[in-house]
Amino acid sequence: MTYLAKPRLHHPTLAKNRVGYTRRDYEGKISTLCAGCGHDSISAAIIQACWELDIEPHRVAKLSGIGCSSKTPDYFLGNSHGFNTVHGRMPSVLTGANLANRELIYLGVSGDGDSASIGLGQFAHVLRRGVNMTYIVENNGVYGLTKGQFSATADKGSKSKRGQANNDTPIDLASLALVMGATFIGRSFSGDKAQLVPLIRAAIAHPGAAVIDVVSPCVAFNNHSGSTKSYDYVREHNEAVNRLDFFPQRDEITTEYGEGEVIDVRQHDGSILRLRKLHAEYDPGDRVRAMAYVQEHAARGEVVTGLLYVDNDACDLHEQINSVEQPLNTLTAAELCPGSAVLEKINASLR
């Protein structure tokens, strides 16, 4: 219950990261979600990833829409900036915040209803604009908060709790992200923390639009047989194409692997994505083949997970529009409004 405050005292022996915080310093309020909801496991993975990355909580801005998934930012990073926006509108608010201050780390949290129905246009545009953020979709195939109606990501033929079949073609958000030009695309499962935490770490470090579609079972409305978003179904049909580990620039890589077992992809900032291939032919650098691969496997009822695509030359919206580097709130009035003479000159150049 949110009115039950978590004890603020920490055991003195709790491990601290390089910026002096314990893992508990990245927690939020006590979750009010149903016990066993996949979304709580994703919150735990976000907490773990931010703690491991030594991020100072006040440098993070977490934004969400409406839904059980969009409530979760209340349950992690209690000392970060937060904005619970309107249903499906998180991407445009995040874009505005990012344009005003590029120094924060932007974390967008959404649901399949929030992103694939009312917010579908916003989802598409924030990706094609290359806004530097980590966009996590907590995908359970239903509108959990409003009692379990099929969402647009529900698979054709999958059954509701009452046995009714879904006749609509599903929207695959990872495939859509590939088409819309996102430069980091992952898919994971809330029940697979070992896969999810490194994906979140790498997505946060990625200097462009990063999306992770996380299948996150709704235990109240979509965890029965006949559902393709249940714990059992995803465990049985999970086709992981690779296993990712992420090493920030400062970390020394100590684990040894035999030749050919892993590929290391060095990023511009010196960090390393270490990929252990589970499917030899899968190349996360090939956007077009990734689309075909994901679709072919979806047609067989398989859920392809892992790092699906990464563009190592990604650039973000600020680079494309050549915007000012300083946060807007640090500029003077004269810099923000250079006066009528300058406006006159701009207008004249457009005539």
Ligand X SMILES: Cc1ncc(C[n+]2csc(CCOP(=O)(O)OP(=O)(O)O)c2C)c(N)n1
Q: Which residues of 209-224 are buried (b: 16+ CB within 10 A; e: fewer)?
A: bbbbbbbbbbbbbbbe
The encoded tokens of residue 103 equal 């120094």
d(CA 280, CA 278): 6
Q: Phi and psi dihedrals of 195, rounded to 5?
A: -85, -40
CB 55 to ligand SF4: min, Å: 26
Window contacting ligand SF4 (CB under 6 A); options: 88-96, 115-123, 153-161, 215-223: 215-223
Of 31 and 242, the one with the shorter C-beta distance to ligand SF4 is 31
Among 118, 219, 263, 265, binds ligand SF4 (CB under 6 A): 219
Among 28, 57, 88, 111, binds Mg ion (CB under 5 A): 111
**Which residues fall within 8 angstroms of residue 227, CB to CB, at 6 or more apart?**
141, 158, 159, 233
- Strands 149-150 vs 242-247: parallel, antiparallel or unpaired: unpaired
- Work out whether 143 is an interface residue with ligand X (CB under 6 A): yes
CB 229 to ligand SF4: min, Å: 10
Of 228 and 271, the one with the shorter C-beta distance to ligand X is 228
Q: Within its chain, how far is the Cα of 242 from the centroid?
A: 18
Q: x/- string (CB under 6 A) for ligand SF4, residues 141-180?
A: ---xx-----------------------------------
Phi and psi based region of residue 137 (left: phi greater than 0; alpha: psi -120 to 50; beta: remaining): beta
Q: Which does 287 bind (CB under 5 to 8 A by kind): ligand SF4, Mg ion, ligand X, none?
A: none
How is 271-337 classified by DSSP, letter by letter?
A: -EEEEEESSTT--TT-HHHHHHHHHHHHHTT-EEEEEEEE-TT---HHHHHT--SS-GGGS-HHHH-
- Strands 142-143 vs 149-150: parallel, antiparallel or unpaired: antiparallel
CB 151 to Mg ion: min, Å: 5
Window contacting ligand X (CB under 6 A); options: 15-23, 40-48, 110-118, 165-173: 110-118
CB 215 to Mg ion: min, Å: 11
Window contacting ligand SF4 (CB under 6 A); options: 218-226, 261-269, 279-287, 336-344: 218-226
CB 275 to ligand X: min, Å: 30
Site residues, ligand SF4 (CB under 6 A): 33-34, 37, 39, 68, 140, 144-145, 218-221
